[in-house]
Structure 1
Amino acid sequence: MARPSFKARWTHIVPATIERSTYVLFASLALILLMLFWYELTAPVWTVTNPLGAAILWALFGLGWLIVLFSTFLINHFELFGLQQAWFALRERAAAPPVLRQPLFYKFVRHPLYAGFFLAFWATPAMTAGHLLLAVGLSIYMLIAIRLEERNLIDTFGADYIAYRETTPMLVPGTGGRRRA
């Protein structure tokens, strides 16, 4: 539902002003269904028993979720969830055209929201088979999403995004930007 081709078809069914919020609604419902019908796989994959090691992993887990939350506000939390679009429609106000910005975390990585999710999914002192399955599946999904999202960002911001991509790493600070266009 996040791809432009789907959005173009979807907005023939729902108004463009609620396209994003319906996407968030359906994505949330899919996640709720996943959690409701999840079959627990409790076989341990790893267990960190050292208290300091466990504390570090729990801190990284919490840091990951804080990065996710904070990143949403850096890029406009209310637009991300479709609330701004609906509010502007109610007020008969148009949104400003998108501008490529790199606030705070975005100066260090292009996708801090995804980086936070990676931390949250993988930093655990007790990895079970079920947790591993979820972490691997969501990690693959995010890596595919990043690739598709970057195409959209190039379409939207052109040379500015290409230059940003060349100088800023995708997920891990200090690893350099993408070297090929």
Structure 2
Amino acid sequence: MIAPHIILATGWILFCVFHSVLASLRFKKIAETRMRYRYKFYRLYYTLFALASFTLVLIYQFTITSYSLFTPTRLSLKLGIIVAGFGLTIMCLCIVKYFMQLSGLKGLIENRKENALMITGVHRIVRHPLYAGTFIFIWGLLIVYPYLSLFITDAIITIYTLIGLKFEEKKMEREFGDAYKSYQQSVPMIIPRPPLYFPQWRKPARKPGEEAIDKIENF
């Protein structure tokens, strides 16, 4: 039963490697030179390839017999369903919001290549809400289905994403400059902080006497 898990881990690692190579700036420049006017379809091709390879690895994962890491209780099942459901909701909201960009359809409709810095909505809570939702979903799912195969999948996806985020952050800094650096200082990357710690949610400190004036004006 160990061999199928090794194959599964290898499959996810290969998926991550191909995902990184195809998304790299160097490979995109090569593709743009070779594809010329067809390069506008690159994002769409990339999305279809990623979806197909992801589905193949996932199908293999469901076909193998795996070990159970622990026996879930009724309480843990309820907790896992709530956690996974919450993460899935965040993922769906982000996918709907980014659908045109993630699918590559936006590049077919619009000729401009500039991306806008998103700092509204869920982006006021964390800088990468889609990844945050993904982490919550996959680890919540492990509570419901505590199999070694799912743990391997969760671990590889988490490690790969965290490493990729470091490069993504540097890319965003180069693209948006001081605006993104300011955004980094006020909003956490993955783990949200209580509203008290969000500078953009804080009200400016009042000077002595201002509160009394407000009460008089609103009387």
Distance 1:40 1:139 in 2: 22
- Residue deviations 1:80-110, cap 9 Å, x none? 210111233xxxxx33732212121110111
- Residue deviations 1:18-58, cap 9 Å, x none? 12111111111211221243362521113331x33321211
Checking the alignment, whether the CA contact within 8 Å between 1:67 and 1:112 is kept in structure 2 is: yes
1:80 alignment partner in structure 2: 102
Structure 2 counterpart SS, 1:11: helix
Task: Tell me which protein shows more helix as a share of its residues.
Answer: 2
| Alignment root-mean-square deviation, CA | 2.1
Rg larger for: 2
The question of 1:40 aligning with 2:64 is answered yes
2:117 alignment partner, one of 100, 106, 117? 100
Mark the CA change 1:151 to 1:43 in structure 2 (over 3 Å): closer, same or farther: same
TM-score normalized with structure 2 length: 0.70
Distance 2:118 2:58 in 1: 35
Mark the CA change 1:137 to 1:96 in structure 2 (over 3 Å): closer, same or farther: closer
2:193 alignment partner in structure 1: 174
In the TM superposition, 1:15-94 aligns within 5 A as 15-38=38-61, 40-49=64-73, 51-74=74-97, 76-88=98-110, 94=111
Identity %: 25
Q: Which has the larger displacement, 12-21 or 141-150?
A: 12-21
Q: Which runs of 5+ in 2 are unaligned?
A: 1-21, 199-219
1:117 alignment partner in structure 2: 134
Checking the alignment, whether the CA contact within 8 Å between 1:63 and 1:120 is kept in structure 2 is: yes
Distance 2:103 2:52 in 1: 14
Q: How many residues align?
A: 170
Distance 1:64 1:13 in 2: 39
